[in-house]
Amino acid sequence: MKNITLQNDSAPTFPEAPRTEHWDMIIKPKSGLLDLQLAEVWRYRDLMWLFVRRDFVAQYRQTILGFLWHVIQPILTTLMFLLVFGRIANISTDDIKPSFLFYMAGITVWNYFSFVLTAISTTFITNAPIFGKVYFPRLVLPLSVTVSNIVKFGIQFGLLLLFMIWYSFKGYPIHVTGYWLLIPVLVLLMGGIGLGLGIIISALTTKYRDLNILMTFAVQLAMYATPIAYPLSYLQNKSYKWLIDINPLTSVVEAFRYAIFGKGTLDPHGLAYSTAFMFVCLFLGILIFNKVEKTFMDTV
């Protein structure tokens, strides 16, 4: 015979004691425009390296030559500059011989800046689907673009060194001096300026899409306003030289050539101006970004 237990509905019931939950991370809104939350960006450094790998690998996944485009592009551009500015226009190279190395050095450091600026200026639009699905500090993406392009710069700088070694066997010796230690600092300056300007433009393009078109023309014009195809000494006694002097990239490019070849112009005041310009761009870029970040998913 089965035992039947009757439940008394009138018996009092007591709620279970609340469970204590421990959270590994708490996401909080930013308290102000100056709330950078850099510690949070550092916690997501592994994600940044994944983005770096994605930017470098996915770009050439379905291409024939792959990363060799980073070798072909500077060589073809250098040959074009050598023909137009060296042979046709006969512009001096500030006594840097051979002229091929003069143009390639300028193109190498300029490509890093232009790649960073162009990629970051569209990063929030191209990655909008990711932003709408998962949370992570948005500054991780611009930083990953800056780092991934350092890899591309390393490839082109290595190519420049190979040509320097090849020309050294033809009687053009390599002068390795202490100024070579300036090269990482100059690359950091170029990357910082590109990062700051890119963040500003990217924050604005979330609402004004036609800025992307303007960006393409601006980068092309800026290259000719920077001493890439000509030395700064070529503009001496020119009435428009001040336009080139106020360009914060001018002193960086000139110092990059001076560090490698030991010839050209090394202007400490110009480098100080470029450094100040970089910090101002980064400061304004982060301010604008923090203001736009809260609503840019509604306008992208």
Q: What is the pLDDT of residues 64-110, one digit of tens each?
A: 666 677 788 889 999 999 999 888 888 888 888 889 999 999 999 99
Backbone angles phi, psi at 90, to 5 degrees: 55, 50
pLDDT of residue 129: 74
When pLDDT is averaged across residues 52-59 and rounded to a whole number, the result is 74
Contacts of 134 (CB under 8 A, 6+ apart): none
pLDDT of residue 174: 82
pLDDT of residue 189: 94
Residue 128 pLDDT > 80, yes or no? Answer: no
Helices (H), 122-139: 123-126, 128-131
Tell me which residue of 126, 121, 109, 125 sits closest to 58, measured CA to CA.
Answer: 126
What's the rounded Cα separation, in Å, for the pair 48 and 41?
A: 9
Q: pLDDT category, 188, cuts 50, 70, 90?
A: very high
What's the rounded Cα separation, in Å, for the pair 252 and 186?
A: 6
pLDDT of residue 205: 78
The model carries a pTM of 0.82
Residue 182 pLDDT > 70, yes or no? Answer: yes
pLDDT of residue 6: 46
Domain boundaries, the chain: 38-57+64-299
